[in-house]
Structure 1
Amino acid sequence: MATYLEQLETPVPIVDLDRLAHNLDRMAAYATLNGLRLRPHVKTHKSPRIAAEQLRLGAVGLTCATLREAEVMSEVCNDIYVAYPPVGAARLERLARLPADVRLTVAADDIQSLDALGVAAMLGGRIIDVMIEADLGMHRVGVTSPQKAAAMALHLDRSSSLRFAGLQFYPGHIRSHVHEQADALAQLGRDISAYVDALTDVGCPPRVVSGGSTPAAWRMHEVPGVNEVRPGTYVYNDRTTAQIGACDWEDCALTVLATVVSVSVKGQAVIDAGTKALGREPLRAEGDGYGALLDHPEVIVSRLSEEHGILDVSQSSWRPRLGDQVRVVPNHVCIAVHLFDEVFGVRGDAVETRWPVAARGRASNLELETAPKRPRAV
């Protein structure tokens, strides 16, 4: 028996399956046509089902932020990159316990962290590849000079359990419209060249130069030296991605289905999607609010409580009725997905499938000890 949106209890994330397929195909084609290795970040979807499709379309491996993501994605992929500093005994132990047949790469920006990582690799009986992360403008993590990167590469060259794999950066500071990124990308190219030259001068040329971020991904082929991209948001897209021109509004595949629960206050409507369904991240582009309606983008979620979202309908001729369902495009889709246990795949108003957000959360070490092991699907 068919299931339709009106039968779903809201709030709930729904994915337009046709838009999802288009987004996956588009990025895969872009990477192939421009000779870039595609290593998508799973932080957006956290789903082995979608990861397997990315791999089928040509991805060379997967990028993860958490150990939970790496553990779950090792079920479908044997080439995992943990793009997060490997600091802390618990994290290192868990890292080393990933399946032995998984080629494991991590990002690092500190020689001291390499020593602890090397011990963990030896105790785990494995070789771990290391990408040196450079801070090229985000000012979050990363070595701050080419000389520091070169010193780290030489340190890795002397290790018996670690292997220098290349250079990585995250251009998250580039948030301008896609058509206005030329100057920032040119500076990025100059900075990368300085790092590559320094590494080459000490006999450690990087075989991989990897850049992330959906907002800048579509122009990474213009940056000399870059041969890998790690976008994540592109699978679903969101309001920010659309606002900066990295996708069209019609490419927003994931929305949070919500129900209008009150229309008592003039000029607004209240939906049952609050911070626990949409998050509270401000728009990282021109505009305000915490989301907008897919079918009425002029209607924004102007305020949020935990379970209430306030729709500002003052700029729209549309007037919602009590019980209406609406589709909200969140400002930041990665946060919204992480707030739910499962996602529903739809075409039109028909629900065709559902899948768990399998890699959400952190999972305790005890859970890992007792969790059943499943064979890799692909």
Structure 2
Amino acid sequence: MYLEQLETPVPVVDLDRLAHNLDRMAAYATLHGLRLRPHVKTHKSPRIAAEQLRLGAVGLTCATLREAEVMSEVCTDILVAYPPVGAARLERLAMLPAGVRVAVAADDAHALDALSVAARLGHRTIDVMVEADLGMHRVGVTSPEKAVAIARQIDRASSLRFAGLQFYPGHIRAKVSEQDAALAQLGRDIAQYVDALRDAGLPPAIVSGGSTPAAWRMHEVPGVNEVRPGTYVYNDRTTAQIGACDWEDCALTVLATVVSVSVKGQAVVDAGTKALGREPLRAEGDGYGALLDHPEVIVSRMSEEHGILDLSRSAWRPRLGDQVRIVPNHVCIVVHLFDEIIGVRGHAVETRWPVAARGRASNRELDTVPQGPRAV
């Protein structure tokens, strides 16, 4: 089968570019002595997770319990980097396979009481990372003193184990070459937390940072010994715009068909918000995506099933029925919109795989409870 035979819109992944991206991050982490714990929120696929682990990742990072359940099929070391709040979430966390080491991130002492109960009921010990807010202002404790208080409570709980310090530098979105000041401040902030924990007799064995935009310079931040990037596997328009990858490293595109050329200066494709999402570009530029082969052509506006290509900055003119490949602004959202990914080399369709961890349903609801890691 070839691209021209696929019904659109559909996400396609260039397998050679994917392999390059996986190898590049694995090599970076190895070169700088960093533990690589990639976030699966981008690909949501055991197939790709297994390849990340084969290339040296120490474990996986998940955002949802659905992701954790699916990834427990291929991984024995999972961090759920999301506040462990709510009875249903805690029950699913405790029910993960017994052979899987489970860690969570926490920023509130009250959450630890319920987490400890869930761990005891699940007959397991749960590792807990204290999450610090170092600039994202989303979750995380806001002072070293609070971090120490939570770490002490974790240390006192028989079913919990203090595992280290975690942060997410999502506020660093400048171009990679312009991150010096932000990274220097990040290093100073981390030092305050690490020193406070060490002075309290609770030195963090792991200091874990995430985010693809800042991942390539995490080795410059003193104290950090683990990275949790996600987007790097596929990359996207935002990542390319800030210099965290080259345009040629964008492995996933949405294949779309030109369905109308009747209005001068534009073309309409069959990929709208239900295929591309509606996240604005978090970098210099506008629109909701750009064409892989004609990056000057952007998706300027959308409705649910229609995407409008702005041709005003290009001499290229598509014909009715032409296929185009759109690099989305934010690839993680796009993956979550589809059930399946198509793997290609050139124009040839070579393979396909399910987006197995999309959605929220539990494995028990889907009657696919994993018994432990398996080979993929």
TM-score scaled by structure 1?
0.98
SS in structure 2 at match of 1:186: helix
Instruction: Flag structure 1 segments of 5+ consecutive residues without an equivalent.
Output: none
SS in structure 1 at match of 2:207: strand
Partner of 1:376: 373
Alpha-carbon offset, residue 371 of structure 1: 2.6
**Structure-2 separation of matches of 1:66 and 1:39:** 16
Partner of 1:271: 269
SS in structure 1 at match of 2:282: coil
SS in structure 2 at match of 1:343: strand
**Structure-2 separation of matches of 1:363 and 1:105:** 21
> Where does structure 1 differ by over 4 angstroms across 4 or more consecutive aligned residues?
none
1:69-89 CA distances to partner (integer Å, 9 max, x unpaired)? 000000000000000000000
Given the alignment of the two structures, is residue 326 of structure 1 paired with residue 324 of structure 2, yes or no?
yes
Alpha-carbon offset, residue 157 of structure 1: 1.1
Q: Which of 237, 256, 260 is residue 239 of structure 1 equivalent to?
A: 237
From the superposition, tell whether residues 68 and 115 of structure 1 become closer, same or farther in structure 2 (CA, over 3 Å): same
**Structure-2 separation of matches of 1:93 and 1:321:** 54
**Structure-2 separation of matches of 1:152 and 1:200:** 14
SS in structure 2 at match of 1:114: helix
Alpha-carbon offset, residue 354 of structure 1: 0.1
Amino acid at match of 1:105: A
Q: How many residues end up aligned between the 2 structures?
A: 375
**Structure-1 separation of matches of 2:85 and 2:327:** 35
Given the alignment of the two structures, is residue 142 of structure 1 paired with residue 149 of structure 2, yes or no?
no
**Structure-2 separation of matches of 1:350 and 1:365:** 34
Given the alignment of the two structures, is residue 132 of structure 1 paired with residue 130 of structure 2, yes or no?
yes
1:12-53 CA distances to partner (integer Å, 9 max, x unpaired)? 000000000000000000000000000000000000000000
Q: Which of 23, 26, 37 is residue 24 of structure 2 equivalent to?
A: 26
Query: Contact 2:104–2:129 (CA<8 Å) still a contact in 1?
Result: yes
Instruction: Flag structure 2 segments of 5+ consecutive residues without an equivalent.
Output: none
Query: Contact 2:100–2:372 (CA<8 Å) still a contact in 1?
Result: no
Query: Contact 2:187–2:221 (CA<8 Å) still a contact in 1?
Result: yes
Amino acid at match of 1:371: T
Query: Contact 2:65–2:362 (CA<8 Å) still a contact in 1?
Result: no
Given the alignment of the two structures, is residue 343 of structure 1 paired with residue 341 of structure 2, yes or no?
yes
**Structure-1 separation of matches of 2:302 and 2:238:** 18
Partner of 2:75: 77
**Structure-2 separation of matches of 1:122 and 1:372:** 21
SS in structure 2 at match of 1:322: coil
1:76-108 CA distances to partner (integer Å, 9 max, x unpaired)? 000000000000000000100000110000000
Amino acid at match of 2:228: R
Identity score, percent: 85
**Structure-2 separation of matches of 1:342 and 1:13:** 8
TM-score scaled by structure 2?
0.99
Q: What is the correspondence of 1:1-378 to structure 2 with a 5 Å cutoff?
A: 3-364=1-362, 367=365, 370-373=367-370, 376-378=373-375
SS in structure 2 at match of 1:26: helix
From the superposition, tell whether residues 325 and 374 of structure 1 become closer, same or farther in structure 2 (CA, over 3 Å): farther
1:275-305 CA distances to partner (integer Å, 9 max, x unpaired)? 0000000000000000000000000000010
RMSD over equivalenced CA pairs, Å: 0.9
